[in-house]
Structure 1
């Protein structure tokens, strides 16, 4: 009976050790599952965050491209308008210059028609008038 008791005790003790080991393993497995779940949630959160960041960057580039296109269009219009104004000013200046040249030609022809002794007096006058006209026209 002693041997049978001893074997029964060993069997019980062995089962207890196995049972305790199973409980420890079950706890470890549960802890691993929790860590795994947490890691999956973190990974899911990171993927979501990465997608959110990527979308924000894409949106910023889209807005930047749209803004640049708008600014480029505005600049083209601005410089186009400036070019039109410059051409208008150029036309006005060309007409004024032609008028000055015409007046100078007229003065020279009048001077040529005068007797020789009046040339010096009228020549000085002919120099002052175009200067006055040029100064007056460029002042506008």
Structure 2
């Protein structure tokens, strides 16, 4: 059998390169989007673990807000950026009456909140704000 030789016209010479460039942009956007979603999930899981660790430390060692923040921040170092840590005592506004079963006056619960911003690699997405919070009761 004889091979058939197909000659392309001058208009079709860059067609493959153009098609690849259009598809490559979409493919890389999809790949970086998947990677960013994985980073977002990892960052949120790490922040949640950090605030739980801080809240757990806070119910064992109350009235040590700086140590609670340091304990939570130590878990968040892996994210590479700074996270703002807040320690709150919800329900402590009612100074007239102490909740039943509360060992520490006006402090039966502790809430640790971490907020941070995750810079994404996908160029069309802005930096994503993250917030994780944990509330625990004093033992």
Query: Shorter-normalised TM-score: what interval?
Result: 0.3 to 0.5
Higher RCO, 1 or 2 (CA under 8 Å, sep at least 6)? 2
Bigger proportion of residues as helix: 1
Bigger proportion of residues as strand: 2
Structure of larger gyration radius = 1
| TM-score, normalised by the number of residues in structure 1 | 0.43
